[in-house]
Amino acid sequence: MRRITTIAELRAWVAEQRGAGRRIGLVPTMGALHRGHLSLVEAAHRDADLVVVSVFVNPTQFAPDEDFDAYPRDLQGDEAKLAALGDAAPDVVFAPDVDEVYPRPNLTTVHVDVLGERLCGRSRPTHFDGVTTVVTKLLNMVAPDAAYFGRKDFQQLTLIRRMAADTNQPVEIVGCPTVREPDGVAMSSRNLYLTDEDRSAARALSQGLRAAVLTAREARDSGTPVRPGMLRDAVTVTLDAEPRIRTDYVEVVDPDTLVPPDERGEENAGAASKSPDKLLVAVAAYLGKARLIDNVVVGDHDDEDRLLSATTNDD
């Protein structure tokens, strides 16, 4: 495992490996690695010859009042976790400085219309521009055959897929399942901000999603249509029962267009929703100063099963 901090050195390494015909996988991260990140590295290891993990806390995806300065940074600890993967340890950890990635005031932004305005985009209006800009830069630096992203950040994954397709990037975008703590809470670097009380209250997010999946299954079993409202209600009731939680949103949307199925999707330019057999149930909530997100795709039976087996029935 080799640490590279400059684009020039990275490009020289990539050119050499490409010349030898090797398939390269990229896992972009902001560090503070946990098992969710490591699962992406393992997925990359399974289908690429060589794996690059980038560790870069990207300033442009944080609003001025967000936690860029406080975001946990521990490159040595991250490298130790990656090395502990043994065979699946990445070949390169790319850890550039901010000045290497943004050597001058950035005048160029990669903006994905529409998809970034919904869900998290409402409370973080500049966030996704920062994400799609830095991911474009990383794809241009590494030129990977495939890049791996977590379904925990489902909206981000949807935007990145669209950005890569719209800008003709020759890369496969791979979405990987959400990894959860033993009590069902989705792993997140921001869980480090939680007090013990808030950490235990955080279970309400995955419990709410569990309630939505169980509601959908009951409806299906009784031959009733699965309606977005019943899924939204199942999550909302669970969140409202937890006084420490301040809900940002609970939304039920088409997973491809992020449009609620009862709205028309013309603005999505060709990706308008058919009658969706899959519904993304997405939630964002504040616990103290931490903002947590989670989701499940109802109608995606693998995703439903994963969520049910990672959460327990509270009743």
Given the rule CB under 6 A, which residues bind ligand AMP?
Answer: 29-30, 36-37, 39-40, 149-150, 152-153, 176, 178-179, 186-189
Whether the CB-CB separation of 140 and 11 falls below 8 Å is answered with no
Phi, psi of 123 (to 5 degrees): -95, -10
**Structure tokens belonging to residue 212:** 């939505």
CB 135 within 8 Å of CB 151:
no
Which residue in the block uniquely carries the two structure tokens 């630096």? Answer: 141
Q: Let me know: does 176 contact 207? Beta carbons within 8 Å.
A: no
- The DSSP line for 80-122 is HHHHTTGGGS-SEEE---HHHH-SS--------TTTTTSTHHH
Is 37 a known active-site residue?
A: yes
Residue 2 burial (C-beta neighbours within 10 Å; 0-12, 13-18, 19+): exposed
Euclidean distance between CA atoms 100 and 6, whole angstroms: 7
* Beta carbon of residue 176, minimum distance to ligand AMP (angstroms, whole number): 6
Nearer to ligand AMP, 11 or 306 (CB): 306
Q: Which is nearer to ligand AMP, 39 or 133 (CB)?
A: 39
Closest distance to ligand AMP from the beta carbon of 115 (Å): 16
What whole-number distance in Å separates Cα of residue 132 and Cα of residue 95?
Answer: 18
**Nearest distance in Å: CB 25, ligand AMP:** 13
Nearest distance in Å: CB 221, ligand AMP: 29
Place of tokens 């060589």: 50
Q: Which amino acid is at 145?
A: D
Q: Which is nearer to ligand AMP, 178 or 257 (CB)?
A: 178
Closer of 40 and 194 to ligand AMP (Cβ): 40
Task: Give the separation between CA 213 and CA 296, rounded to whole angstroms.
Answer: 8
Beta carbon nearer to ligand AMP, 127 or 226: 127
Radius of gyration of the chain (CA): 20
**Strands 50-55 and 92-94, bridge-based pairing:** parallel
Nearest-approach distance from CB 243 to ligand AMP, in angstroms: 25
Q: Which of 37, 111, 127, 301 is catalytic?
A: 37
Minimum Å gap between C-beta 28 and ligand AMP is 6
**Minimum CB distance to ligand AMP smaller for 72 or for 299:** 72
Residue positions annotated with a catalytic role: 37
